[in-house]
């Protein structure tokens, strides 16, 4: 039985004894592309939730569906939102998906299906990321067509979810604020909070009040500006653009290395990032009104294709910066970028693969600490055969065949290919040849020397490497 202490759904971090809740796992079966049960491990392997979980996989393997299922497990009180404020004390919580018919339809779940869909959380994690009061809640919380829900003490679990189409709304805060913090994950046409209107409204509120409330608002205004300056590359400052004869509306300007520009004139990448980051900030400010640092309070944030519209340099720094600001947030994201995987080497990585017409999840497939981007791309994480263009790959394949034939009758062609590759690859030629030899040895050893011990294989590899590539001596 989940209970809250106030007659207000807003969480008070200074008074509410309930500790924050995070996801530790997710199991899904018979939902869209998922037939047999697919289980995600959302922990860090040491009994705590992973601060970052990155879900990889080809298009159509269910990455977005898994995020939507997590949204469906957000706790709802019995009844509709209008009924929540009437009697919060002692109320039972249910998975949102068991109370929201539209969510069932969006996930393609029909109650009359012969094969019942299942979405299950086996355990949650209760407590702060950085305290010693942590413990797992077992036998958690599930939805299926036989037993719609069970209750649990999860009233402090809060989820904000963002789809790939993260567009900033137009109009006032009231017009663009959505009660459903996960709406954009289900509908590409859903817009997010108008960041400019929200900043303007906060500026107006500061000028319209006095005393402690004014100081509190000023502190938050400074906090959000500093946060955005840390998260958005080359954004130096924000300011209010005054009304003039030609400028009849108040607007927000952004200082860049090229001067001041209107917020609405920023690139799609900036506006997309601003949209969801300001949306998270606004919801945290509202949820934790008495906190000295609402952005550092507990939350779970889901982002679909977090790398979308972002320059590679930005992708490499974004996750670290987000972790430094949203210090008690569990991030679960999807991506198609090796740079996102490389950015947080300790991230919990999950790879979705299609095998024999079934989607399977490979949890924590391998450690990539210290790996180059090309190594990550050609690993099992992305399953790309080569980082070279097709013409170069054809030359390398031909070169490999000649080597396997010991160069018999093809010495002239071998030299021609070496010359072409050296000219084409420049300073990277030596490394490329070495990688080619390494892959050849790996494949050859798998086929011909399975009987050797690991030590014998290593010794043989070194001898072969020195034979076919004297530069390795």
Tens place of pLDDT per residue across the chain (473 aa) = 222 223 333 444 444 445 788 999 999 888 888 888 899 999 988 888 999 999 999 999 999 999 999 998 887 655 443 344 444 444 455 677 766 667 777 776 654 454 667 788 777 787 766 443 334 444 444 554 444 444 445 657 889 999 999 999 988 888 888 888 999 999 999 999 999 999 999 999 999 999 988 999 999 999 999 999 999 999 999 988 876 666 657 889 999 998 999 998 999 999 999 999 999 999 999 999 989 999 999 999 999 999 998 888 899 899 999 999 999 999 999 999 888 888 877 889 999 988 888 898 988 776 667 777 777 777 777 777 777 888 888 888 888 788 777 655 678 888 888 888 888 877 666 666 666 666 666 666 666 666 667 677 667 666 665 655 544 44
Residues 145 and 194 in one domain: no
Answer with the one of 295, 330, 356 that is the final residue of a domain: 295
Cα distance between residue 334 and residue 302, in whole Å:
8
Residue numbers of the domain that contains 142: 1-158+298-371
Cα distance between residue 421 and residue 419, in whole Å:
6
Kindly state whether residue 365 falls inside one of the protein's structural domains: yes
Kindly state whether residue 117 falls inside one of the protein's structural domains: yes
Looking at beta carbons, which pairs linking 400-404 to residues 24 or more positions away fall under 8 Å? 400/436, 400/440, 403/440, 403/468, 404/440
Question: Does residue 310 contact residue 269 with C-beta atoms inside 8 Å?
Answer: yes
Cα distance between residue 225 and residue 213, in whole Å:
18
Residues 98 and 58 in one domain: yes
Neighbours of 139 (CB within 10 A): 10
Kindly state whether residue 396 falls inside one of the protein's structural domains: yes
Kindly state whether residue 10 falls inside one of the protein's structural domains: yes
Residues 280 and 347 in one domain: no
Closest listed residue to residue 432, CA positions, set 378, 380, 365: 378
Q: What is the model's pTM?
A: 0.79
Q: What is the 3 state secondary structure string of the chain?
A: CCCCCCCCCCCCCCCCCCCCEEECEEEEECECCECCCEEEECECCCCCECCEEEEEECCCCCHHHHHHHHHHCCEEECCCHHHHCCCCCCCCEEEHHHCCHHHHHHCCCCCCCCCCCEEEEEEEEECCCCCCCCEEEEEEEEEECCCCCCCCCCCCCCEEEECCCCEECCCCHHHHCCCCCCHHHCCCCCEECCHHHHHHHHHHHHHCCCHHHHHHHHHHHHHHHHHHHHHCCCCCEEEEECCCCCCCCCEEEEEECCEEEEHHHCCHHHHHHHHHHHHHHHHHHHHCCCCCCHHHCCEEEEECCCCCCCCHHHHHHHHHHHHHHCCCEEEEEECCCHHHHHHCCCCEEEEEEEECCEEEEEECCCCCCCCCHHHHHCCCCCCCCCCCCHHHHHHHHHHHHHHHCCCCCCHHHHHHHHHHHHHHHHHHHHHHHHHHHHHHHHHHHHHHCCCCCHHHHHHHHHHHHHHHCHHHC
Residues 257 and 278 in one domain: yes
Residues 2 and 151 in one domain: yes
Cα distance between residue 7 and residue 4, in whole Å:
8
Cα distance between residue 95 and residue 121, in whole Å:
10
Residues 418 and 468 in one domain: yes
Kindly state whether residue 173 falls inside one of the protein's structural domains: no
How confident is the model at residue 394, as a pLDDT? 85
CATH value at residue 327: 3.40.50
Question: Does residue 99 contact residue 123 with C-beta atoms inside 8 Å?
Answer: no
CA 28 to chain centre: 19
Kindly state whether residue 113 falls inside one of the protein's structural domains: yes
Answer with the one of 244, 271, 295 that is the final residue of a domain: 295
The tokens 């491990």 sit on which residue?
Answer: 41
Cα distance between residue 119 and residue 141, in whole Å:
9
89: exposed, middle or buried (Cβ count in 10 Å: 0-12, 13-18, 19+): exposed
Residues 146 and 272 in one domain: no
Give the number of domains in the chain: 3
Q: What is the dihedral of CA 227, 228, 234, 239, to 10 degrees?
A: -110
Residues 222 and 319 in one domain: no
How confident is the model at residue 85, as a pLDDT? 42
Kindly state whether residue 217 falls inside one of the protein's structural domains: yes
Residues 308 and 417 in one domain: no
Residues 428 and 359 in one domain: no
Buried b (16+ CB within 10 A) or exposed e, 441-471: beeebeeeeeeeeeeeeeeebeebbeebeee
Cα distance between residue 128 and residue 141, in whole Å:
20
Answer with the one of 295, 323, 357 that is the final residue of a domain: 295
Kindly state whether residue 175 falls inside one of the protein's structural domains: no
């Amino acid at each position: 039985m989940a209970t809250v202490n106030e007659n207000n759904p807003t969480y008070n971090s200074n008074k509410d004894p309930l500790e924050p809740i995070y996801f530790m796992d997710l199991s899904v079966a018979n939902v869209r592309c998922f037939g047999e049960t697919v289980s995600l491990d959302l922990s860090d392997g040491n009994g705590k939730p992973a601060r970052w979980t990155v879900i990889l996989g080809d298009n159509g393997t269910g990455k977005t569906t898994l995020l939507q299922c997590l949204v469906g497990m957000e706790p709802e009180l019995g009844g509709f939102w209008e009924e929540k404020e009437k009697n919060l004390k002692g109320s039972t919580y249910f998975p949102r998906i068991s109370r929201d018919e539209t969510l069932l339809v969006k996930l393609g779940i029909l109650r009359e299906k012969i094969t019942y869909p299942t979405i299950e959380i086996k355990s949650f994690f209760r407590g702060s990321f950085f305290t010693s009061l942590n413990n797992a809640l077992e036998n958690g919380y599930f939805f299926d067509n036989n037993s719609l829900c069970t209750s649990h003490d999860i009233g402090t679990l809060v989820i904000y979810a963002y789809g790939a189409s993260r567009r900033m709304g137009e109009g006032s805060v009231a017009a663009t604020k959505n009660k459903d913090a996960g709406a954009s994950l289900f509908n590409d046409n859903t817009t997010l909070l108008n960041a400019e209107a929200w900043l303007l409204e906060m500026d107006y509120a500061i000028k319209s009040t006095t005393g402690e409330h004014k100081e509190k608002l000023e502190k938050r205004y400074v906090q959000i500006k500093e946060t955005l300056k840390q998260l958005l590359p080359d954004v130096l400052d924000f300011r209010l653009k005054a009304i003039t004869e030609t400028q009849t509306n108040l607007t927000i300007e952004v200082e860049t290395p090229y001067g001041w520009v209107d917020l609405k004139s920023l690139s799609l990448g900036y506006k997309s990032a601003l949209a969801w980051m300001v949306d998270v900030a606004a919801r945290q400010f509202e949820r934790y009104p008495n906190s000295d640092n609402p952005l550092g309070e507990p939350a779970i944030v889901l982002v679909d294709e977090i790398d979308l519209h972002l320059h590679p340099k930005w992708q490499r720094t974004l996750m670290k910066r987000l972790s430094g600001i949203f210090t008690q947030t569990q991030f679960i994201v999807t991506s198609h970028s090796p740079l996102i995987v490389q950015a947080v080497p300790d991230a919990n990585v999950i790879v979705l693969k299609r095998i024999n017409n079934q989607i399977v999840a490979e949890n924590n497939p391998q450690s990539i600490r210290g790996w180059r981007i090309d190594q990550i791309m050609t690993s099992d994480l992305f399953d790309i055969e080569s980082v070279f263009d097709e013409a170069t790959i054809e030359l390398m394949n031909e070169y490999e065949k000649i080597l396997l034939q010991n160069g018999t009758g093809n010495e002239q062609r071998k030299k021609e290919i070496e010359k072409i590759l050296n000219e084409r690859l420049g300073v990277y030629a030596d490394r490329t040849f070495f990688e080619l030899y390494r892959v050849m040895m790996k494949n050859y050893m798998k086929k011909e020397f399975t009987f050797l011990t690991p030590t014998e294989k290593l010794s043989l590899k070194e001898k072969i490497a020195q034979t076919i590539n004297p530069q390795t001596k």
